[in-house]
């Protein structure tokens, strides 16, 4: 399998070069850019699997760049910033970021986060996973597509992984910490509300009434579960 391709976008040359050299030693294919314009040019030519993206750039914001890149492909985005305000993190997740690390950071932790994100991509490519159908909703893990009433639902890479994981275990209640371990694939260092943010995003896209969700239900004091009526269970889910 060809090594994963990573684009580093940061206006600080010291940080940009540090990340570039460190991940190059992990045998990733690397490109870098110092502003939004050059980042988009590299993005088009390089077609990265993952973008490590600084929030503060001289000609744009990482938030805007994240949205623009994810309109074009399902690229994973790891936000890297000196902002520690929780509202900034929530905004990044709302705009499609898959993960978020604040400066100063550990290169070892950065490498673990990168590996976890890319591992999800490799698993999707190699594992034999069944399509799931629940009523009017179909989840296809091979094409990584979700349709609702035969219309496509636009999900980020992480939103898709989280939805597919929950839907693969209907009725099972998952704690936030368990979802972080199973879907993010590492022990998340930070506020577990990252799960709540992504669940909220998914609900807005698939639930007819987000105020009273019927598919992804909150189990107060515990976590979340994917709930369906027995008549909606797809043949592929039967054992």
Of 102, 126, 150, which marks where a domain is finished? 126
pTM of the model: 0.66
Annotate 88-147 with DSSP letters as a single string: HHHHHHHTT-SEEEESS--HHHHHHHHHHHHHHHHHHHHS----EEETTEEEETTTTEEE
d(CA 168, CA 179): 13
Give the CATH number of the domain where residue 217 resides: 1.10.10.10
Q: Based on the domain organization, do 141 and 119 belong to the same domain?
A: no
Number of domains in the chain: 2
The pLDDT score that the predictor gives to residue 212 is 85
Encode the chain (239 residues) as per-residue pLDDT tens digits.
688 999 999 999 999 999 999 999 998 999 999 999 999 999 999 999 999 999 999 999 998 999 899 888 878 899 987 766 667 767 777 777 888 888 888 899 899 889 888 886 644 444 467 899 998 999 998 888 999 999 999 887 788 989 999 999 999 999 998 998 888 766 655 557 778 888 998 999 999 888 888 899 999 989 999 998 554 554 444 32
Regarding whether 224 and 159 lie in a shared domain, the answer is: yes
Show the domain range for 32: 5-126
Q: Cis before residue 104, ω within 30 degrees of 0?
A: yes
What is the C-alpha separation between 30 and 18, in angstroms, rounded? Answer: 12
The enclosing domain of 46 has a CATH number of 3.40.50.2300
Same domain for 121 and 57? yes
For residue 230, the SS3 value is: helix
The pLDDT assigned to 52 comes to 97
Q: In what order do the strands lie in the sheet with 223-226?
A: 174-175, 223-226, 216-219
174 and 90 within one domain: no
Residue with tokens 């807005």: 204
Q: Are residues 15 and 119 in the same domain?
A: yes
Angle in degrees, 0-180, between the axes of helices 86-94 and 62-72, rounded to the nearest 10: 20
Same domain membership, residue 56 and residue 75 = yes
DSSP structural state of residue 235? G
């Amino acid at each position: 399998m060809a090594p994963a391709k990573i684009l580093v976008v940061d206006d600080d040359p010291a940080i940009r070069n540090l990340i570039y050299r460190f991940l190059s030693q992990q045998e990733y294919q690397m490109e870098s850019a110092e502003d939004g314009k050059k980042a988009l040019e590299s993005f088009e030519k390089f077609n990265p699997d993952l973008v490590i993206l600084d929030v503060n750039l001289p000609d744009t914001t990482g938030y805007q760049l994240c949205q623009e890149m994810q309109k074009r492909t399902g690229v994973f985005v790891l936000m890297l910033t000196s902002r520690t305000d929780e509202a900034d993190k929530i905004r990044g997740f709302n705009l499609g970021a898959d993960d978020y690390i604040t400066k100063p950071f550990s290169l070892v932790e950065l490498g673990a986060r990168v590996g976890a994100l890319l591992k999800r991509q490799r698993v999707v490519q190699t594992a034999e996973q069944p399509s799931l159908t629940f009523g009017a909703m179909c989840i296809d893990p091979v094409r990584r597509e979700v349709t609702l009433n035969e219309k496509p639902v636009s999900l980020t890479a992480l939103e898709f992984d989280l939805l597919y994981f929950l839907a693969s275990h209907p009725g099972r209640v998952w704690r936030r910490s368990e979802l972080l371990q199973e879907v993010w694939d590492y022990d998340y260092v930070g506020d577990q509300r990252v799960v709540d943010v992504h669940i909220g995003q998914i609900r807005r896209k698939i639930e007819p009434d987000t105020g009273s969700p019927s598919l992804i239900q909150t189990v107060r004091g515990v976590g979340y579960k994917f709930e369906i009526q027995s008549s909606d269970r797809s043949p592929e889910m039967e054992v």
